[in-house]
Amino acid sequence: MRRNESHIAFVGLGNMGARMAKNLIKHGKKVNVYDINPSAVTALEQAKPCNSPAEAASGASLVFTMLPNGEIVKEAILGDNGIFKEISKNALLVDCSTVEPRVAQELHSISKKNYIRFLDAPVSGGIVGAEAATLTFMVGGDKDSVNEITPVLLHMGSTVHYCGNVGNGQIAKICNNLVLVEIVTSTTGIYSTSISHCLEVGEMLLTDELSSFEVEGCGEKLRKVVMLLQGVAVCFKRF
């Protein structure tokens, strides 16, 4: 049976989340919303205001979170008034925040034990993309679940990249950020690197392979990105 996609919860109404939730409403979705800032909740006049993440998740078949960091995400999901207190079994929980890959994996593991389907789906495109519904989603998790929610994601964005296992969405976002940094700081010209190639390198963030990755033959620009990845890999040990 196809799930009812019209009942959605959205937790986190900052500069990005508020615009993303607004675009869902524009497409006729019934959206329960929660934010620690009450004025952000009341600003979305057509949404249903809620007093906690748990209340927002109650009865929703699809729950989005868009929050500043991993600790806040975990509190919103696992806390005393968190999403897990009320979310339905087999519901989809989609975290669009930018967090460490191991946080996404931890939340996936806990969700699976509670019969909840978890996806990590960080975005690129910034406030302009959130406003215009042209965000790019980089999604990790069960492919069937990703296919299921892709039409909903496309109410908020223009592109959905399936990145593989949970955590890979965050890896793709890290690679994307590092590539952008290299573009901005480059003195020899702009270049492009595909997300699939970034993932080939970035997946190593969760393994012991990155430290020995052969950078010769990558091209000067990609080699710099790999070296940047090698520098931060110690922060993302295998979960």
- The 10s digit of each residue's pLDDT in 183-230 is 444 444 444 444 555 555 555 444 444 444 444 444 454 555 555 555
Cα angle 117, 122, 123 (rounded to 5 degrees) comes to 135
pTM over 0.75: yes
DSSP assigned state of 218? S
For 34-69, letters b (16+ CB in 10 Å) and e give: bbeeeebbeebeebebbebbbbbbbebbbbbbbbee
The answer to whether 112 is a known catalytic residue is no
CA distance 201 to 226: 7
How many helices and strands in the chain, by DSSP H and E? 10, 9
Residues forming CATH 3.40.50.720 domain(s) in the chain: 7-166
pLDDT in the model for residue 155:
98
Homologous superfamily assigned to 7-166: NAD(P)-binding Rossmann-like Domain (3.40.50.720)
Q: Which amino acid is at 159?
A: T
Q: Which of 173, 221, 224, 237 is catalytic?
A: 173
